Structure 1
């Protein structure tokens, strides 16, 4: 009897310990999923308006820890969670005025691309020098996301979170692909260094080649950024020009500001007249050229004499050419157009926006979307047509490249204004639809990266803010507040030399995509050989 009682006591004591261990094991299974989502959130926090660019490194270090050594199927799911953690907060502004459904749908689709990247990173993570292959896979994913669907959505490129970072000079070397690659490589390399150190403490044996490659993954991007600094310059090569940016503001926030089109035009004319009065009084330098934002005249000045008279009066008062953002109908089609308005001759040149925004400026899948919710189709009743040529306006003594709002996210749309002769770049925008969200700061950061990428002054005139003047080294020298009427005037350098990024164009991106393809091919081949060997 004594033996039996003892056995029962031992069994009763063992059960709670076993149950606790089982619960702990179940909870541990959720750790990779939680870490993937939280590292995505950490990556979001590294983006503007915050200046915590360096958080991208631990974000990718944790993502590397989550994915390394796992199957591609696990990588697919973990990558999707990482994408949700990153993109849900980053793109929340897309639902500011239209509700959460389009925002969630956009994120759900864009996170699929990140999921595929996760699968690819998991596959190459078993290779030697895996951070190199994994970083290239990430950039390949960005390259695809920037092109499909509906001509792409590159918002959230890693490069766009690095406007305040030490890696920024790499934009001048190889554009956004090289800048993003360096950040991701450094992040994955950081995890690999930590992993090898911990393994070394346990086993007291670390291969020198593995340690050297891990250290190089961290060191090469940093050294490369330092070496690229001479490519960044704000010196004038072709003299200077005095530029004025007009921010007229809008009557009210949200989508219904479009109903106040004449008020918006009048606000921008009024702010231009206020600048003209300050110039006449000798309080402000006379500008050589004036830049109005996108949608500053949603009344077609070619078809409406009153709008034409307002713009003409503003140009004559300031005594300088104005680039006016208009909505223009031509041959039954509508265009989001920049109009070069000479103070003597009137309208003399135009640029039609080429990369128009799906679901904002035109509506793909209209019948399908209408079947889901008729209110969504009514928001985009008349879609815009695309322009076909880059826009470079000859304004006073400067050649000004036009990149309208959403186009700033696309590498090609900015580069071909420079290769077409632009000495400065203007990014006229209209962010009034998105309230006081982070969207305007994210877009401003893109313009800072573009300034360094092509070594050009970038001006950002916005209807409601934040308008800014950015020098070729990426520094913001002047900016406005949001939802205030204001103007900025500054003498800026004119430059005509091309950075390696401008000259090379798409070639660095193609090279990194080929590296990614090579790594994936190696990983797939190694997996097939391994399965065959196990079968034998």
Structure 2
């Protein structure tokens, strides 16, 4: 049952209230619209359901009062977030999943509350889409450092809207999808109301056509050439003994698995069954035994590096002089051993860190499983043969600025070591792979995804997946990939497209509120 503070209120025509059944139907439609957007996310390839969901949402929000719009937006958010984030409760239950879904849904409701106000202004559909982008920006910052997991761009790795990531990153993709969907909804609403005059239909029709046409036209502009040469990469997926929160207790077994699979790859190279890689990427948490302090772990990794004969970038938990852990990627040279490190900068709340630990312990003792990791403070590029490898560890790939800083630090290849074993066979790993594919196009880089338990993948600069693994299967992907130093327009513009869109949205909201108050006075 929806709390009264955000429950949709009936429209009033004169003194007669709409029937409660009509309000209930609208509420169900809002939930359904959110579910349509959820279904557009991988592992499905139904990218076109996202604009359809926005079409239903736009129709529902038309003419709504702010309180009612907040309620419908919240329900839309619940329809989207509850199934999308189900993986958060795989091993800790609904105590994590449902509150997170409700909070994210409420943050979806906030921009929805503003959409009916700005659509009354000239260019209302465009302004409404900009308000949606502003809402995504809010969710990337709040709470606990932000949670941008459900960005609409991450639902589009299969559709034409993906190409727009090379021009303006994830905010431009979200703007285009929202605008096309809201335009479609306005067309349907006007047709149902028999408002079929060409002048009335022209604006919503253009709102649908222009984003789609721009996305299709951008496709040929997405750079994929190897302007800095090519390298052969290997992504090693050693697998874990079993899924679950206790996978860290299997630290030695996980390390042994990755050493063993690398040595098998080396044997395959010697026999001619596999190409000799120029560099190897191991996953996040491949060695949760600190190899810089533990001699056994050091020797195992060093032996694997010497066996394959090329540098390995491996995820490890490293203990600092302050006795606190760091989620670190170590560059391991076959002759010189560990020569460089990258420490994860954007830590995962409720996993690597635990905000308000004592408070949340009142609801579940599982909070004590969360770590006390120390974040890094700089982007690092590893020199591995001819490759200059930008590193983005797992959760970081959801954050625009973190990825951008890494890529723009002199890279020609992007690597994403990740660990999804905690989330079992859920959709989480496919959702994250979609982010990797969007980042490939956004930054014009091939992406090497190495996961402990899958899905590992090689992603081309156009966002296509050339090779991938199954879940919970030891594997090594070997592929020749292009190196690219060219910067996309999105890289050159940086955060400015999002800043401008958010600023316009806020300015429009201020004008709309002022106008509404002035009309009330009259």
Q: Secondary structure at the match of 1:341?
A: strand
Q: Secondary structure at the match of 1:350?
A: strand
Q: Report the alpha carbon displacement of residue 66 of structure 1 after superposing the two structures with TM.
A: 0.5
1:479 and 1:52 map into 2 onto residues whose CA distance is 20
**1:178 matched residue in structure 2:** 172
CA contact (8 A) 1:285 1:489 kept: yes
1:43 and 1:447 map into 2 onto residues whose CA distance is 19
**2:291 matched residue in structure 1:** 301
2:170 and 2:355 map into 1 onto residues whose CA distance is 28
2:116 and 2:191 map into 1 onto residues whose CA distance is 21
**1:288 matched residue in structure 2:** 278
**1:496 matched residue in structure 2:** 485
Q: String of CA shifts for 1:134-186, please: whole Å, max 9, x gaps.
A: 11111000001001111100000000000001111100000000011000000
**1:353 matched residue in structure 2:** 344
Q: 2:149 matched to 1:155?
A: yes
**2:4 matched residue in structure 1:** none
Q: 2:56 matched to 1:69?
A: no
1:165 and 1:377 map into 2 onto residues whose CA distance is 39
2:474 and 2:188 map into 1 onto residues whose CA distance is 51
Q: Secondary structure at the match of 1:393?
A: strand
CA contact (8 A) 1:67 1:125 kept: no
Using structure 2 for the length normalisation, give the TM-score: 0.95
Please tell me whether Structure 1 or Structure 2 has the larger radius of gyration of its CA atoms: 1
Gaps of at least 5 residues in structure 1 are: 1-21
Change (3 A) 1:23 1:454: closer
Deviates more, 1:129-138 or 1:434-443: 129-138
Which one of 373, 393, 411 corresponds to residue 400 of structure 2?
A: 411
**2:104 matched residue in structure 1:** 110
2:272 and 2:24 map into 1 onto residues whose CA distance is 67
4+ residue runs of structure 1 moved beyond 4 angstroms?
none
CA contact (8 A) 1:79 1:115 kept: yes
Using structure 1 for the length normalisation, give the TM-score: 0.92
1:97 and 1:91 map into 2 onto residues whose CA distance is 13
1:377 and 1:28 map into 2 onto residues whose CA distance is 42
**1:363 matched residue in structure 2:** 354
2:36 and 2:126 map into 1 onto residues whose CA distance is 22
Mapping 1:141-152, distance limit 5 Å:
141-152=135-146
1:425 and 1:34 map into 2 onto residues whose CA distance is 42
Which one of 324, 327, 334 corresponds to residue 343 of structure 1?
A: 334
Which one of 240, 252, 255 corresponds to residue 262 of structure 1?
A: 252
CA contact (8 A) 1:369 1:376 kept: no
CA contact (8 A) 2:261 2:475 kept: yes
Deviates more, 1:462-471 or 1:416-425: 416-425
Q: Report the alpha carbon displacement of residue 127 of structure 1 after superposing the two structures with TM.
A: 2.7
Q: Secondary structure at the match of 2:150?
A: coil
Q: Report the alpha carbon displacement of residue 207 of structure 1 after superposing the two structures with TM.
A: 6.5
Q: Secondary structure at the match of 2:417?
A: coil
1:197 and 1:42 map into 2 onto residues whose CA distance is 22
Q: Secondary structure at the match of 1:290?
A: strand
Gaps of at least 5 residues in structure 2 are: 1-15
**2:325 matched residue in structure 1:** 334
**1:3 matched residue in structure 2:** none
CA contact (8 A) 2:313 2:330 kept: yes
Q: Report the alpha carbon displacement of residue 394 of structure 1 after superposing the two structures with TM.
A: 0.3
Q: 2:261 matched to 1:279?
A: no
Q: String of CA shifts for 1:475-520, please: whole Å, max 9, x gaps.
A: 1000000000010001100000100101111100011102211221
CA contact (8 A) 1:173 1:231 kept: no
2:73 and 2:98 map into 1 onto residues whose CA distance is 17
Q: String of CA shifts for 1:177-201, please: whole Å, max 9, x gaps.
A: 00110000000001112233344x3
CA contact (8 A) 1:129 1:214 kept: no
Q: Report the alpha carbon displacement of residue 211 of structure 1 after superposing the two structures with TM.
A: 2.7
Q: Report the alpha carbon displacement of residue 24 of structure 1 after superposing the two structures with TM.
A: 9.7
**1:312 matched residue in structure 2:** 302
1:436 and 1:305 map into 2 onto residues whose CA distance is 34
CA contact (8 A) 2:125 2:183 kept: yes
Q: How many residues end up aligned between the 2 structures? A: 506
Q: Secondary structure at the match of 2:19?
A: helix
Pairwise CA RMSD of aligned residues?
1.4
Q: 2:457 matched to 1:468?
A: yes
Q: String of CA shifts for 1:5-58, please: whole Å, max 9, x gaps.
A: xxxxxxxxxxxxxxxxx9993312212111111111111011100000000111
Which one of 54, 63, 67 corresponds to residue 48 of structure 2?
A: 54
CA contact (8 A) 2:160 2:219 kept: no
Which one of 85, 95, 107 corresponds to residue 79 of structure 2?
A: 85
Q: String of CA shifts for 1:104-125, please: whole Å, max 9, x gaps.
A: 1111211111111110112223
1:256 and 1:371 map into 2 onto residues whose CA distance is 22
Q: Report the alpha carbon displacement of residue 126 of structure 1 after superposing the two structures with TM.
A: 2.5
Which one of 350, 366, 369 corresponds to residue 376 of structure 1?
A: 366
